[in-house]
Amino acid sequence: MFSARHLSRFRFHTRIRFGVLVCGLVVVAPDASAQTPSLRVTIKLRTGGALDGLVVEHSDAGLVIAHDGTPYAFAWQALEPVSAIAARRELMALSLGSDKANPFDAHDYYDLGSFALQIDASNQAIVFFRAAQVRDPALAGDIDVALATYRQRSKGARKSAAAQARGNTATEAQNTGVAADPDATSFASLLSAEPTTPLVREQVETIYRTFGETVRNVMGKKVTLIETEHFLIWTDWHQRHRDMLANVSESMYRSLCRQFGVDERENIFLAKCPVFCWKSKRQFVKFARHFDGHDGTNAIGYTRSIERNGHVHVVLLRQGSTRIDLDRFAATLVHEGTHAFLHRLHAPRLIPHWINEGLAEMMSERVLGDRSVAGEEASLLARVHVRYDWPIADLLNSTGPIGVEQYGLACSVVSYLQQLGGDRLAKMIRALKSGLSLADALAQNFDGLTLERLESDWRDWIKKTDPILNAPKPEDARLPWHD
Ligand SMILES: [Zn+2]
* Per-residue three-class SS string for the chain: CCCHHHHCCEEEEEEECCCCCCCCCCCCCHHHHHCCCCCEEEEEECCCCEEEEEEEEECCCEEEEEECCEEEEEEHHHECHHHHHHHHHHHHHHHHCCCCCCCCCHHHHHHHHHHHHHCCCHHHHHHHHHHHHHHCHHHHHHHHHHHHHHHHHHHHHHHHHHHHHHCCCCEEECCCCCCCCCCCCCHHHHCCCCCCCHHHHHHHHHHHHHHHHHHHHHHCCCCEEEECCCEEEEECCCHHHHHHHHHHHHHHHHHHHHHHCCCCCCCCCCCCEEEEEECCHHHHHHHHHHHHCCCHHHEEEEEEEECCCCEEEEEEECCCCCHHHHHHHHHHHHHHHHHHHHHHCCCCCCCCHHHHHHHHHHHHHHHHHHHCCHHHHHHHHHHHHHHCCCCCHHHHHCCCCCCHHHHHHHHHHHHHHHHHCHHHHHHHHHHHHCCCCHHHHHHHHCCCCCHHHHHHHHHHHHHHHCHHHHCCCHHHHHCCCCC
Tell me: do 241 and 145 sit in the same domain. no
At 153 the pLDDT is: 80
Share of the chain above pLDDT 70, in %: 81
483 falls within a domain: no
Look at residues 164, 181, 201 and tell me which one is the last residue of a structural domain.
164
295 falls within a domain: yes
CA of 357 to the centre of ligand 1 (A): 5
CA of 110 to the centre of ligand 1 (A): 38
At 168 the pLDDT is: 38
pLDDT digits (tens, 9 = 90+) for 137-156: 999 999 999 998 888 887 76
CB 232 within 8 A of CB 187: no
Question: Residue 121's Cα: distance from chain center in Å?
Answer: 22
CA of 32 to the centre of ligand 1 (A): 34
Residue 482 has pLDDT above 90, yes or no: no
Residue 227 has pLDDT above 50, yes or no: yes
25 falls within a domain: no
Tell me: do 10 and 38 sit in the same domain. no
405 falls within a domain: yes
Using 50, 70 and 90 to split pLDDT, how confident is the model at 161?
A: low
Mean pLDDT of 223-238: 94
Tell me: do 348 and 310 sit in the same domain. yes
Look at residues 164, 180, 208 and tell me which one is the last residue of a structural domain.
164
At 10 the pLDDT is: 37
CA of 374 to the centre of ligand 1 (A): 12
Tell me: do 309 and 194 sit in the same domain. yes
Tell me: do 11 and 38 sit in the same domain. no
CA of 191 to the centre of ligand 1 (A): 25
At 18 the pLDDT is: 38
21 falls within a domain: no
- Strand-pair category, 70-75 with 299-306: unpaired
Q: Which is nearest to 463 in space by CA: 395, 379, 402?
A: 379
Residue 125 has pLDDT above 90, yes or no: yes
Q: Name, in order, each residue with C-beta under 8 angstroms of 24's C-beta and a sequence gap of 6 or more.
A: 394
Tell me: do 154 and 174 sit in the same domain. no
Q: How many independent structural domains does the chain possess? A: 2
CA of 197 to the centre of ligand 1 (A): 30
74 falls within a domain: yes
22 falls within a domain: no
We report the CATH number of the domain holding residue 236 as 1.10.390
CA of 414 to the centre of ligand 1 (A): 14
CA of 215 to the centre of ligand 1 (A): 24
Tell me: do 182 and 105 sit in the same domain. no
CA of 412 to the centre of ligand 1 (A): 15
CA of 401 to the centre of ligand 1 (A): 9
**CA–CA separation, 361 vs 264, rounded Å?**
21
Q: Which is nearest to 51 in space by CA: 28, 21, 31, 72?
A: 72
Residue 325 has pLDDT above 70, yes or no: yes
**CA–CA separation, 316 vs 336, rounded Å?**
8
Q: What is the pTM of this model?
A: 0.80
Tell me: do 154 and 211 sit in the same domain. no
At 292 the pLDDT is: 87
At 100 the pLDDT is: 75
Q: Name, in order, each residue with C-beta under 8 angstroms of 89's C-beta and a sequence gap of 6 or more.
A: 112
Look at residues 146, 164, 182 and tell me which one is the last residue of a structural domain.
164
Tell me: do 378 and 332 sit in the same domain. yes
CA of 16 to the centre of ligand 1 (A): 8
117 falls within a domain: yes
CA of 139 to the centre of ligand 1 (A): 45
Share of the chain above pLDDT 90, in %: 54
CA of 354 to the centre of ligand 1 (A): 9
We report the CATH number of the domain holding residue 67 as 2.30.30.100
Tell me: do 142 and 178 sit in the same domain. no
At 192 the pLDDT is: 55
CA of 444 to the centre of ligand 1 (A): 26
At 329 the pLDDT is: 93
Tell me: do 206 and 130 sit in the same domain. no
Residues with CB under 5 A from ligand 1 (ion): 13, 357, 360
**CA–CA separation, 409 vs 404, rounded Å?**
10
At 30 the pLDDT is: 43
**CA–CA separation, 444 vs 469, rounded Å?**
32
pLDDT digits (tens, 9 = 90+) for 420-458: 999 999 999 999 999 999 999 999 999 999 999 999 999
pLDDT digits (tens, 9 = 90+) for 55-98: 988 989 999 999 988 899 999 999 999 999 999 998 888 888 77
Tell me: do 201 and 137 sit in the same domain. no
CA of 124 to the centre of ligand 1 (A): 34
The residue range of the domain holding 320 is 4-16+170-478
